[in-house]
Amino acid sequence: MDLSLPAADLAWKERAKVFAETVLFPHELDLEMNGSLPRATKDALRAAVVAHGFNGVNHAREAGGQGCTQLQQTLINEELGKATGALWAVVWHPAVPLKHGTPEQIRDYLTPSCLGRRRACVAVTEPDAGSDTGLIRTSATRRGERYVIDGEKWFVTSGDEADYVIVHALVDGDRALPTLFLVDRDAPGLTVKREPKFTHTYVFGHRELLFQGVEVTADRVLGGVGQGLELTKDWFVEARLQIAANCLGAAIRAFELANDWASERVAFGVPIRRHQAIEFMLADMAVEIMAAKSMIYRVAWEVDQNIDRKVAHARASVIKLHASEMAGRVLDKAVQIFGGRGYMRENPVERLNRDVRVDRIWEGTSEIQRVIIGGQLGKRGPDLFTGWYRAPGT
């Protein structure tokens, strides 16, 4: 059993580390202290993503992306996840369902998105529909060759940066026809209702959008009428792996900083790491990180081996749940080891502690991940989680 990372994968990880440390970290304090970055800085960051070759890592080269494997993406996201203020989000990942676009949609939306000329945001959640997507009410009413979209979407991440929205709506209000639509930001009838503030400082906004009689032509249906939930489910595997990798990176950065501080800070005549209470916290953090990393790399690798879609879905839930909760525990200890300094916003540990909280909420809450895992356990049995990868034919 060879667990070593191939040279090409290590090279992606190293490049991402350099990118995070030299391009993203320098903007952390400006973002935290001012709540946002100037437009010129955001534009420069977008250009830097392209210059460093991190644009469209999750899409095929033919579509304008970098064609990275899932494991390579995980290694990249781990390094980017070390940046505070969700600066990792400046490295956009064009939405996975765009792969299922028509040739024209790939030309007009996916490829320009991979190249950094366009950017999407995704609008699924509504005031009355979060975990329970069955409660979605946004409708797309057929009018001849057109659809008219009406509804309200919440928490639309990067809505301020995107020039088009991937909207989840019910065709003719029919729950059996959940469908994704591509809507350009300047479409008449699409307005911003609010841009609330959140616990974390985030490089972009999370907008509330109103769709009032927004007309789109039939060629803006993405992936077929009625395919909305299926396309979103496929995407969850990648999105949950990305969150898990970001959480791992955040935990590693906080652990390294706390470990250094524990050697430097003296209390009662010794470096605080010589107090067993602190040493044991560091030990627990090391164990948590090692376990999470083993799981995340394994599942990313398995996805690259094309394991069964439902197995991938269940295991992506396992690592999203574990990594996000692990990051919460590790960050909490890191803050404690820093004492009062762990509560200062100028300390990356303080910022990461706020940043990782949302990872237990978005892309399926921890409770929803447990619902998925428990459901698959009932259907497929424990081997799904206790077993190990088997090569085809063995």
The β-bridge relationship of strands 206-217 and 146-157 is: antiparallel
* The total number of residues written for the chain in this structure: 394
By CB under 6 A, which span of 151-159, 182-190, 227-235, 384-392 interacts with ligand FAD? 151-159
Q: What mask, x for binding ligand FAD by CB under 6 A, covers residues 203 to 242? A: ---x------------------------------------
Instruction: Pick one of 60, 371, 373, 384: the residue that binds ligand FAD (CB under 6 A).
Output: 371
Which of 198, 280, 343, 389 is the binder for ligand FAD (CB under 6 A)? 198
CA-derived radius of gyration, the chain: 22
In whole angstroms, the minimum distance from the beta carbon of 135 to ligand FAD comes to 9
Element (H, E) at 78: helix 70-80
For residue 229, the one-letter residue type is: L
Position 110: which residue type? L
Question: Is residue 149 at the binding interface for ligand FAD, with CB under 6 A as the rule?
Answer: no
* 181 is an interface residue for ligand FAD by CB under 6 A: no
Using the contact rule CB under 6 A, the part of the chain among 210-218, 234-242, 298-306, 355-363 near ligand FAD is 355-363
Give the count of alpha carbons within 13 A of 89, CB side only: 22
Inter-residue contact 90 to 24 (CB < 8 Å): yes
Please say whether the beta carbons of 70 and 235 come within 8 A.
no
Site for ligand FAD in 246-305 (CB under 6 A): none
Does 315 bind ligand FAD (CB under 6 A)? Our answer is no
Q: Is the dihedral of CA 64, 66, 71, 76 positive or negative?
A: negative
Cα–Cα distances in angstroms (integers) from residue 116 to residues 162, 317, 386, in the given order: 11, 30, 41
Of the candidate spans 74-82, 153-161, 330-338, 374-382, the one that interacts with ligand FAD by CB under 6 A turns out to be 153-161
Contact with ligand FAD (CB under 6 A): which of 109, 155, 181, 261? 155
Q: For the window 106-145, what string marks contact with ligand FAD as x by the rule CB under 6 A? A: ----------------xxxx----xx--------------
Considering the complex, what minimum distance in angstroms separates the CB of residue 132 from ligand FAD?
6
**Positions marked catalytic:** 363
Smaller CB separation from ligand FAD, 134 or 382: 134
Output the DSSP codes for 176-223: T-EEEEEEETT-TTEEEEE----SS--SS-EEEEEEEEEEEEGGGEES
- d(Cα 284, Cα 278) in Å, to the nearest integer? 10
Q: Which is nearer to ligand FAD, 198 or 343 (CB)?
A: 198
Quote the least distance from Cβ 84 to ligand FAD, whole Å.
15
* Helix runs in 305-364, H state only: 309-338, 348-355
Shortest Cβ contact with ligand FAD: which residue?
130
Closest CA to 131 of 370, 367, 392: 367
Number of residues that bind ligand FAD (CB under 6 A): 18
Q: Is 361 a binder of ligand FAD (CB under 6 A)?
A: yes
Q: Residues in the site for ligand FAD, rule: CB under 6 A?
A: 122-125, 130-131, 155-157, 198, 206, 358, 361-362, 365, 367-368, 371
